[in-house]
């Protein structure tokens, strides 16, 4: 107990010292006024073609800014406001780890327990890794599998995979690196972490998050999943850029993946969450939900990441903790943050605890440059950086990227047009049939006498045309153009000229990494 008190006092003294230094020097910092943030957000909406953005800034124990801008739907034209609900996506991962830490406090699990202690049927590709894979490994993106491996089991919405399917199928995902050697973002491990919680306490992840975390913290408008939002009168519609134009699209999130990204919230509640976290996990009522030791553990670097050359914030370290990215910014201030992305929305949540500062940006269009522009500009004003004009810099980068991305797609479809006259294109009888992947299931290629079609049996929203490209390769052009995830389908033929297998590779760099078609190993079975 004595060491606990001393540790806690030292933390408070450190924060007091930092606060005094900050106050003494703050007169030189041109912190943004309300009108300046208004102008910044309005210009961001235009520059990045985002229909609506809500922004929250929390400083020194209180909300100093909470507003919505633009519209929450291009169809209804209803205004975005600070109460508008948005799917915060992977910002849910911090809640999942907080919940697991609470179970550690209660003695019901340990971070370094093998996953198979709670899920005996859990298997990975390598037997040794299977036996040594821990709860900590589930939530630190160091499995050895590639970026987004297996995400097609929940992405996009509308497939029939269950959590149990994911548990049983991850053994088919081949690693790209050795275990614990490199960082690679993985949603399915968080889904399995949610199942660990369920098996330990017999309560669903959603019920636990809402009753044990959201309710005592005071997040009165938030829900653990989209389907739990009963009143959808003030919730965003999703939007994305399709064929060069921003359009409204259906909400897209699989309830299977809630532990990885299902929470729906608004800027007020997310700032309430930030206030709670920066108050050492103590609620407004003085209730400590997590021990100091476990709370400290959440924000410790578990999987290191390289600091980028010429880092914009003079960072010395960067990495992933337990459900959070951690880094340092100007002068050694620790920053804890995460982003989130669904089809049609992206979000960003940033805290600098030593400055008692949090910035929340929620959007209804999937352009990360928009939230970076707002967060960086506001953050710079508190850190004392001169105006670095993030709007102009990131606006130019975004425009250049979209131009480059569109040029790649234009070249590919120009080749598709040329292929119509080429004599080396395979005949239908050479490629039509069913192709099976161990974890994704069947993909059917058919021909109606005029054109080919492709259909993913377990994910029926993934269907479209299959267009000849060259003698061995076709292009899958998905019917839903909002996915922006067209792929090359490359066939392997036997000595008779019949296709026996196929692989996929995305065409354009804008494609979301969760469309992990490249992980499929398709073998012709019919």
Residues 6+ apart with CB under 8 A from 343: 155, 156, 238, 240, 249, 252, 366, 482, 483, 512
Tell me, what CATH number does 372's domain have?
3.40.710.10
Residue 24 resides in a domain:
no
pLDDT digits (tens, 9 = 90+) for 117-149: 999 999 999 999 999 999 999 999 999 999 999
Residue 377 resides in a domain:
yes
Would you give the DSSP letter of residue 281?
A: T
Do 222 and 176 lie in one domain? The reply is: yes
Query: What is the C-alpha end-to-end distance of the chain, expressed in Å?
Result: 67
Give pLDDT, residue 423: 76
Question: What are residue 468's DSSP bridge partners?
Answer: 474
- Assess whether pLDDT exceeds 50 at residue 28: no
**192 by DSSP, 3-state: which?**
helix
Mean pLDDT within 484-490: 97
Give pLDDT, residue 421: 87
- Interaxial angle between packed helices 34-47 and 390-419, expressed in degrees from 0 to 180 and rounded to the nearest 10: 10
Averaged confidence pLDDT in the chain? 93
Do 200 and 255 lie in one domain? The reply is: yes
pLDDT digits (tens, 9 = 90+) for 184-225: 999 999 999 999 999 999 999 999 999 999 999 999 999 999
Residue 15 resides in a domain:
no
Do 333 and 469 lie in one domain? The reply is: no
Share of residues in the chain with pLDDT > 70 (%): 94
Residue 18 resides in a domain:
no
Tell me, what CATH number does 435's domain have?
2.40.128.50
Give pLDDT, residue 252: 83
For 8-77, list the strands marked E by DSSP: 52-59, 62-70
Residue 243 resides in a domain:
yes
Do 357 and 444 lie in one domain? The reply is: no
pLDDT digits (tens, 9 = 90+) for 151-162: 999 999 989 999
Enumerate the H helices of 299-432 as residue ranges: 368-383, 390-419, 428-431
Give pLDDT, residue 87: 97
Do 105 and 154 lie in one domain? The reply is: yes
Do 348 and 495 lie in one domain? The reply is: no
- On the 0-12 / 13-18 / 19+ scale of CB atoms within 10 A, 349 is buried
pLDDT digits (tens, 9 = 90+) for 335-358: 999 999 999 999 999 999 999 999
Residue 457 resides in a domain:
yes
State the residue range of the domain holding 325.
Answer: 31-401
Residue 20 resides in a domain:
no
Instruction: Give which of 136, 115, 124 is closest to 168, Cα–Cα.
Output: 124
- Assess whether pLDDT exceeds 60 at residue 22: no
Could you write out the three-class secondary structure of 391-410?
A: HHHHHHHHHHHHHHHHHHHH
* CA 296 to each of CA 7, 106, 299, 466, 498: distance values in angstroms, whole numbers, following the listed order: 11, 16, 6, 52, 59
* CA 429 to each of CA 383, 496, 526: distance values in angstroms, whole numbers, following the listed order: 65, 12, 12
Do 320 and 233 lie in one domain? The reply is: yes
Rg over alpha carbons for the chain, rounded to the nearest Å, is: 24
Mean pLDDT within 302-329: 95
Question: How many domains, in total, are found in the chain?
Answer: 2
């Amino acid at each position: 107990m004595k060491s606990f008190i001393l540790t806690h006092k030292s933390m408070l003294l450190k924060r007091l010292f930092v606060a005094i230094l900050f106050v003494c020097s703050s007169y030189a910092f041109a912190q943004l006024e309300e009108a300046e943030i208004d102008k910044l957000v309005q210009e961001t909406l235009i520059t990045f073609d985002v229909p609506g953005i809500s922004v929250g800034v929390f400083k020194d124990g209180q909300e100093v800014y909470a507003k919505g801008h633009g519209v929450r739907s291009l169809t209804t034209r209803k205004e975005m406001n600070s109460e508008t609900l948005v799917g915060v996506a992977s910002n849910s991962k911090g809640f999942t780890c907080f919940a697991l830490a609470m179970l550690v406090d209660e003695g019901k699990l340990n971070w370094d327990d093998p996953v198979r202690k709670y899920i005996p049927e859990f298997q990975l590709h390598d037997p040794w890794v299977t036996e040594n894979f821990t709860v900590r490994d589930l939530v630190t993106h160091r499995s050895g599998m590639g970026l987004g491996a297996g995400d097609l089991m929940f992405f996009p919405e509308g497939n029939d995979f269950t959590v149990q399917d994911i548990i049983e199928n991850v053994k088919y995902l081949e690693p790209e690196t050795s275990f614990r050697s490199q960082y690679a973002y993985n949603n399915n491990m968080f889904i399995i972490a949610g199942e660990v919680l369920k098996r330990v306490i017999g309560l669903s992840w959603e019920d636990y998050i809402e009753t044990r975390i959201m309710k005592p913290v005071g997040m009165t408008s938030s829900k653990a999943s989209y389907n739990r939002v009963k009143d959808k009168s003030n919730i965003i519609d999703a939007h994305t850029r399709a064929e060069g134009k921003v359009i409204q699209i259906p909400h897209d999130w699989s309830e299977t993946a809630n532990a990885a990204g299902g929470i729906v919230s608004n800027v007020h509640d997310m700032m309430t969450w930030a206030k709670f976290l920066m108050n050492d996990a103590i609620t407004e009522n003085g209730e400590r939900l997590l021990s100091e030791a476990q709370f400290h553990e959440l924000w410790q670097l578990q999987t290191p990441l390289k600091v980028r050359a010429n880092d914009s914030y003079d960072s010395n370290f960067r990495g992933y903790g337990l459900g959070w990215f951690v880094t340092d910014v100007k002068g050694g201030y620790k920053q804890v943050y995460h982003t989130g992305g669904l089809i049609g929305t992206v979000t960003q949540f940033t805290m600098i605890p030593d400055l008692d500062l949090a910035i929340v940006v929620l959007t209804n269009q999937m352009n990360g440059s928009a939230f970076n522009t707002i967060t960086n500009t506001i953050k710079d004003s508190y850190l004392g950086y001169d105006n670095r004009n993030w709007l102009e810099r990131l606006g130019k980068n975004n425009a250049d990227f979209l131009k480059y991305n569109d040029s790649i797609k234009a070249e590919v479809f120009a080749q598709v047009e040329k292929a119509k006259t080429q004599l080396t294109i395979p005949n239908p009888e050479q490629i039509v049939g069913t192709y099976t992947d161990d974890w994704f299931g069947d993909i059917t290629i058919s021909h109606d006498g005029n054109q080919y079609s492709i259909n993913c049996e377990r994910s029926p929203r993934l269907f479209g045309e299959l267009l000849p490209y060259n003698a061995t390769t076709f292009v899958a052009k998905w019917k839903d153009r909002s996915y922006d995830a067209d792929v090359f389908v490359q066939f392997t033929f036997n000595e008779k000229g019949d296709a026996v297998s196929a692989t996929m590779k995305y065409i354009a760099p804008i494609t979301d990494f969760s469309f992990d078609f490249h992980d499929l190993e398709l073998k012709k079975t019919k």
